[in-house]
């Protein structure tokens, strides 16, 4: 699954989204992720929903059909081009001026006689959002709990009937897992084709394990924060891979841009995408990654003109990596991965294997984004468990006919070696 995040505040009004689909497909992506576009509260933040059944006027073309028709037309056009659609639903909170507060004040948490502001746990700290109110999805009152979860079932079904293929549940780890599990089971019993992504940004590893047991189909890895050396990434991978499908990303709408961190270094951008794309079932990037945007996406004030400047252009490179991911199943599955130790700390080497299918691959990357570095892998035939090795690297390919692999990699270069018995 190759996901392109068409961030609404940059993409503009819904009819304009359709114009971007051929471009997205040309990069090799087969899924489009749309952040929430509900009618927003007074602060205009797209993550502050006022009405879940209305679309934000900012994304509706007033000279076209209504918002619902524009949304459905976009989804229908995606499907006609072989692209699936992810839409993000929010169950944890609303804006402080939400219509739901008028209709069902009993659904909100009260604290010391006042409505509780939405508070989210991110790792070991708590963050309070002053313009959001927290919904009581785990009420002690069974009648309230049943009514609010029935509301989520009805809401989800509405967007499924619009044509959405995959539901991303915002801050899913903050929801009561028992109720979440029952909710997912009910939806899938009625709509077996629907998949769920559990948004776990900020979640602990324990939270991720809970979500995997609750029935979500996908979780995001912590690839963004991995230094390519620390063992915790491998530990996370092995504990999750047999129970859930994983999505890695070099950046997303809520994180610092890779290009910003590495001062517009094109080589860094390429390496981060290639490794993220080839590690797990899914990969995801936000709009602007392919042109090296340094501007962080903002839930409130992102505009299309912020992304007109191109630091560089790696569209062709992304297409090559996506084609490799599509052509070799080992790169679109959760498989065993092993770190291949190197004396040169600037060289990253990893083995990926699927014993049942007799598929093996080695990724070798130069993490020095400014200078060349030498890689040495002794007896590569033993490592990859075959002497029949194909070089499928994105920039150029070579014949591998000696067991000791020694090569000088250019700055930011990646080599991809593959074997199938």
pLDDT bin (cut points 50, 70, 90) of residue 172 is very high
Q: What is the mean pLDDT of residues 326-332?
A: 95
Q: Which residue has the tokens 């990037």?
A: 285
- Equal CATH topology for 2-334 and 339-420: no
pLDDT of residue 225: 93
Confidence label for 123 from pLDDT (cuts 50, 70 and 90)? low
pLDDT in tens, 224-280: 999 998 999 999 999 999 889 999 999 999 899 999 999 999 999 999 999 999 999
pLDDT the model gives residue 195:
97
Neighbours of 407 (CB within 10 A): 14
| 125: pLDDT strictly greater than 90 | no
Query: Where is average pLDDT lowest: 104-113, 137-146, 300-309, 407-416?
Result: 300-309
H or E element: which one contains 151? Answer: helix 142-162
> What confidence tens digit (pLDDT) does each residue in 341-376 have?
889 999 999 999 998 888 999 999 999 999 999 999
Does residue 305 register a pLDDT over 60?
no
Tell which wins on pLDDT, 421 or 196: 196
Q: What per-residue confidence (pLDDT) applies to 304?
A: 58
Q: What is the tally of helices (H) and strands (E) in the chain?
A: 13, 22
Rounded to the nearest integer, the mean pLDDT of the chain is: 93
Give the contacts of 143 (CB within 8 A, at least 6 positions apart).
none
- Mean pLDDT for the stretch of residues 93-117: 93
Q: How confident is the model at residue 387 (pLDDT cuts 50, 70, 90)?
A: confident
Q: What share of the chain in percent tops pLDDT 70?
A: 96
Alpha-carbon distance 361 to 350, whole Å? 8
- Is 308's pLDDT higher than 80? no
Backbone φ, ψ for residue 155 (5° rounding): -65, -45
Rounded to 10°, the helix 205-214/177-190 angle is: 40
pLDDT at 307: 61
Kindly report the CA angle at 206 between 202 and 208, in degrees rounded to 5? 60
Q: Nearest-CA neighbor of 171 among 244, 106, 88?
A: 88
Q: Measure CA 376 to chain center.
A: 33
Percentage of residues in the chain with pLDDT exceeding 90? 80
161-165: average pLDDT: 98
CATH topology of domain 2-334: TIM Barrel (3.20.20)
- pLDDT score of 306: 60
Q: Is the pLDDT of residue 385 over 60?
A: yes
pLDDT of residue 203: 84
* Contacts of 67-72 spanning 24+ positions with Cβ under 8 A: 67/14, 68/162, 70/13, 70/14, 70/15, 71/14, 71/37, 71/162, 72/162, 72/163
At the fourth CATH level, the homologous superfamily of domain 339-420 is Golgi alpha-mannosidase II (2.60.40.1180)
56 and 38 Cβ atoms separated by less than 8 Å = yes
pLDDT surpassing 90 at residue 88: yes
DSSP 8-state code for residue 332: G
The yes-or-no verdict on residue 129 having pLDDT over 80 is no
What value does the mean pLDDT take over residues 318-336? 95
- Residue 272 pLDDT: 97
Residue for token pair 């692209």: 83
Q: Label residue 302 by pLDDT band (50, 70, 90).
A: low
Instruction: For the chain, give every domain's residue range.
Output: 2-334, 339-420
């Amino acid at each position: 699954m190759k996901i392109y995040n068409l961030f609404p505040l940059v993409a503009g009004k819904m009819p304009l989204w359709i114009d971007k689909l051929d471009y997205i497909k040309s990069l090799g992506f087969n899924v489009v992720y749309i952040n929430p576009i509900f009618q927003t509260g007074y602060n205009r933040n797209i993550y502050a929903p006022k009405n879940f059944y209305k679309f934000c006027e900012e994304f509706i073309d007033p000279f076209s059909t209504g918002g619902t028709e524009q949304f459905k037309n976009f989804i229908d056009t995606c499907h006609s081009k072989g692209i699936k659609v992810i839409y993000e639903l929010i169950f944890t909170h609303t804006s402080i001026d939400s219509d739901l507060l008028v209709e069902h004040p009993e659904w909100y948490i009260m604290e010391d006689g006042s409505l509780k502001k939405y508070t989210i746990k991110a790792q070991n700290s708590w963050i309070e959002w002053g313009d959001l109110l927290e919904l009581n999805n785990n009420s002690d009152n069974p009648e309230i709990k049943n009514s609010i979860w029935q509301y989520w079932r009805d809401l989800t079904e509405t967007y499924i009937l619009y044509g959405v293929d995959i539901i991303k549940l915002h801050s899913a780890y903050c929801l009561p897992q028992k109720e979440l599990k029952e909710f997912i089971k009910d939806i899938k019993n009625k709509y077996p084709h629907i998949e769920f992504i559990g948004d776990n940004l900020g979640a602990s590893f324990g939270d991720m394990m809970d979500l995997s047991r609750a029935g979500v189909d996908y979780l995001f890895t912590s690839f963004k924060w991995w230094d390519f050396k620390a063992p915790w990434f491998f530990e996370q991978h092995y504990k999750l891979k047999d129970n859930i499908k994983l999505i890695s990303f070099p950046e997303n709408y809520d994180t610092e841009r890779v290009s910003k961190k590495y001062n517009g270094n094109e080589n860094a951008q390429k390496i981060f995408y290639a490794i993220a794309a080839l590690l797990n079932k899914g990969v995801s990037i936000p709009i602007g990654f392919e042109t090296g945007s340094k501007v962080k996406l903002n839930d409130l004030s992102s505009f299309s003109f912020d992304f007109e400047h191109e630091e560089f252009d790696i569209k062709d490179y992304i297409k090559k990596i996506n084609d490799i991911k599509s052509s070799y199943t080992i790169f679109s599955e959760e498989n065993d991965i092993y770190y291949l130790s190197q004396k040169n700390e600037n060289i990253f080497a990893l083995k990926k294997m699927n014993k049942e299918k007799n598929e093996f691959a080695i990724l070798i990357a130069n993490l020095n984004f400014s200078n060349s570095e030498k890689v040495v892998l002794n007896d590569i035939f033993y490592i990859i468990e075959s002497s029949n090795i194909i070089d499928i690297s994105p920039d150029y390919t070579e014949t591998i006919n000696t067991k000791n692999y020694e090569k000088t990699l250019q700055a930011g270069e990646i080599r991809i070696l593959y074997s199938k018995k």
